[in-house]
Each structure stands twice: as C-alpha cells, then as structure tokens.
Amino acid sequence: MLKVINVVGARPNFMKVAPIVEEMKRREREFAPLVVHTGQHYDADMSDAFFRDLELPEPDVYLGVGSGSHAAQTAAVMERFEPVVLQERPDWVLVVGDVNSTIACALVCAKLGVKVGHVEAGLRSRDRTMPEEINRVLTDQIADLLFTPSADADQNLLNEGIPQERIRLVGNIMIDSLYRRLNHAKQSTIHQKLGVSDGDYAVLTLHRPSNVDEPDHLAGIVKALAEVASKMPVVFPVHPRTRKKLHEFELSERVERIDNLQLVDPLGYVDFLQLYSGARIVLTDSGGIQEETTALGIPCLTLRENTERPITIEMGTNQLVGCEPERILAAFYAAVEKPSSNDLRLPPLWDGHTAERIVSSLLEYSR
C-alpha cells in the first residue's frame, strides 16, 4: 500500500487534489491518502465552502502558514512541512499547480529523498517576472514524476532536459472536478440571487499583480468593463486583493457607478461553476478558468499578454487580449457577435479520467 501526502496550498489546488484523493480512497487496498493544507491562502468561510463543495475530506494536517512575502511564505511552508514528512514517512508526496506551497513542499521532499509527483507539470508562460513561472520550472526539475495536461507541456519538459521516463501525459485534472460537479452545480440558486439568465451575461475575474497592482492597467480594464456592462449584465466576484487596489487607486467609485455591473464577494466552487458555466462570455486573468471555459465551449478573453496554457488558444475558446481597452473591446464584440457553435474541440485526455491515470501511474512507477 502506498502512503501519499496530497498538498493543498491555495484554493485552485483544491479542485486539482479532490478527484485524486477521491480515486485513491476508491482504491483503498492500494492507497492511504493524507491531505496536508499549508494554509497559504486561508479564509475560513471560503476554504470550508471549497472543501464541502468538492467533497474533499478535512485536512489531516493544517500548517497554518498564512500570507507573507514569497520568501517568508515559502520558508514557513518548508519549516512546517518537514516535520510532517519525517513523522509520516510517505511513499509519495503529490504537489499541484504553481503556488509557493508547491515548490516549498517539493524542495523539502527532494532534500529528504522522498518521491514527488507534480500534477499540472510542464506548463510555461515564458514570463520569468511571474512568481508562478519560477515555481513551475523549479518544481519540474526536482520532481520524480511529472503529470502533464497536454502534449505541449511534454515538449516543454523535454526541451528543458527532463528525461522522457519521468513524464506522464495524463490530461487535465481540473476537468475531472468540472465534470464531476457540473450536475451538482445546477442545484445552485446563484442565477436567481443575482437576477441573471443563462447565456445573457458576462463574468469577470481579476487578481493577478500584473493587472491589479498597476494603476494604468487596472484603469484600462475598468474603462473596458464600463462598455461591456453597457451591452450585457456583468457579474464581478471581487478578489480581496483587487478590492484593496481599486480603493487604493481611487477607482472604487468609478466601478460602483457602472450600470449593469454587480460586484459580489468571492463565491464557493459550486456557485461559481454554475455562474460561469451559464455565461455568454468570461473575462479573466486566471489560468484554470481558461481551461474550464474551453471544456464548456464558452468564449474566454484572458486579460494577459501570455499564457502557460496555449492549448486553450490552439484548440479551445481562449484569446489573449491584454489590458488595453481597445483590444479587450474588439475581442469582446467579435466573440459575442459570432454565432454559437456546437463544434467543440477538446484537447486529448480532457475527459474527466485524469485522476485515474495519475493514480495508476504512481502504482506502476512504484513497482
């Protein structure tokens, strides 16, 4: 039996870990899974909602790291995670995504000689100013098994000198959670609460420092937002960081005066899934939403100059539009005026069975 520590640090990690833990519990004779929550992002109401919505078991260990600078947070995770590894002596530690907890826990294991699997490996934006890019590259260099979502990720790893035998193309773990919770999400009453109808509104999410920490960038997005809202209702779940910066840059009043725009607090997974799955278009700077909108066939405008998920542009519904109002609006009008198509092309293995392939690979590699 393999003892596997599954690490979650930030909310996007929950959606990636939940189907893996679920699959391990289904194969209880072969796996003993543990969940370690580093507490990198922690809000009691939000975290509890995500654990409940995803049916993820309560963490076996909560490290309670909290916020801080990148260096302080990474160091704190390492310091608190090492005793857990020494006590539990796992066969594997699975880390997911690209947050500080991912590289911190991978480093601890590399130093202790404990095998590491990296889920969502090989993604590259080629923008070294993004802390997430550094986390991705370094984690992939020290992990024993690299679970990739798409063929371009495999090629990135090979180009960086990673041996083929460490790479496993398994598909997109986010799509597992999406498909497993989609029917459940239909029970959400978020549409009624917000007074919106399927296919008749836009959703905006915004949180990346490159957008919200730059006054000119944030002001440009707000300018475009006002015109988008003049054409259709917009729902904007506001990230705490974004709300703070809107106030700091004296943009809050301008945003609040936009007709047809609803500012709401961040939503739980099920409510948010129901919200964006019914949208006519999504504007975002998130990575995971680029993938989920591709899986659902919803036009997505990514408010960035690069993406670590180019497959969502090549085969999906995603477009890179940056933060200049003219580019955003040109892409918005082109997307909403284009007739809807049922010709949905999904990347290979985005089929909802990625967790099964990950778990089987762990067994095969351990024999």
Return the beta strands (E) in 128-173 as ranges.
145-148, 167-169
pLDDT of res. 221: 98
pLDDT score of 303 more than 80: yes
Question: Domains plus CATH for the chain?
Answer: 2-172+350-366 (3.40.50.2000), 190-337 (3.40.50.2000)
Question: For residue 35, what are the contacts with CB-CB under 8 A and spacing of at least 6?
Answer: 5, 6, 8, 17, 21, 56, 57, 58, 59, 60, 61
Rounded to whole angstroms, the Cα distance separating 303 from 173 reads 23
Amino acid identity for residue 102 in this structure: T
Picking from 351, 261, 277, the residue whose alpha carbon sits closest to that of residue 317 is 277
Rounded to whole angstroms, the Cα distance separating 328 from 285 reads 12
pLDDT score of 45 more than 60: no
pLDDT score of 194 more than 80: yes
When the pLDDT of each residue in the chain is averaged and rounded to a whole number, the result is 94
Where does the pLDDT of residue 361 fall: very low under 50, low under 70, confident under 90, or very high at 90 and above? very high
Q: Which long-range contacts (CB under 8 A, 24 or more apart) does 183-189 make?
A: 184/53, 184/270, 185/270, 185/271, 185/273, 185/274, 185/277, 186/274, 187/270, 188/270, 188/271, 188/273, 188/274, 188/275
pLDDT of res. 67: 84
pLDDT score of 251 more than 90: yes
Query: What is the average pLDDT across 129-148?
Result: 97
Q: Are strands 202-204 and 167-169 parallel, antiparallel or unpaired?
A: unpaired
Q: Which of 37, 184, 191, 207 is catalytic?
A: 207
Neighbours of 355 (CB within 10 A): 25
pLDDT score of 152 more than 80: yes
Query: What is the average pLDDT across 39-66?
Result: 77
Helix (H) or strand (E) segment spanning residue 115: strand 115-119
pLDDT score of 343 more than 70: no
pLDDT of res. 52: 77
pLDDT of res. 48: 67
DSSP 227-292: HHHHHS-EEEEPPHHHHHHHHHTT-HHHHHT-TTEEEEPPPPHHHHHHHHHT-SEEEE--SHHHHH
pLDDT score of 42 more than 80: no
Query: What is the average pLDDT across 321-336?
Result: 97
pLDDT of res. 28: 95
Q: Which long-range contacts (CB under 8 A, 24 or more apart) does 51-54 make?
A: 51/14, 52/268, 53/181, 53/184, 53/268, 53/269, 53/270, 54/14, 54/15, 54/18, 54/177, 54/181, 54/269
pLDDT in tens, 95-132: 999 999 999 999 999 999 999 999 999 999 999 999 99
Is residue 207 flagged as an active site residue?
Answer: yes
Query: What is the average pLDDT across 267-281?
Result: 95
Rounded to whole angstroms, the Cα distance separating 289 from 276 reads 9
Where does the pLDDT of residue 10 fall: very low under 50, low under 70, confident under 90, or very high at 90 and above? confident
Q: Classify the phi-psi angles of 339: left when phi > 0, otherwise alpha if psi is within -120 to 50, otherwise beta.
A: beta
Where does the pLDDT of residue 43 fall: very low under 50, low under 70, confident under 90, or very high at 90 and above? low
- List the single range of 62-71, 203-212, 279-288 with lowest mean pLDDT: 62-71
Q: Is 319 helix (H, G, I), strand (E, B) or coil?
A: strand
pLDDT score of 272 more than 60: yes
pLDDT score of 202 more than 80: yes
pLDDT of res. 57: 77
pLDDT of res. 55: 77
pLDDT score of 178 more than 80: yes
pTM: 0.93
pLDDT score of 209 more than 80: yes
pLDDT of res. 47: 63
pLDDT of res. 46: 58
pLDDT score of 151 more than 90: yes
pLDDT score of 341 more than 80: no
Query: What is the average pLDDT across 307-315?
Result: 95
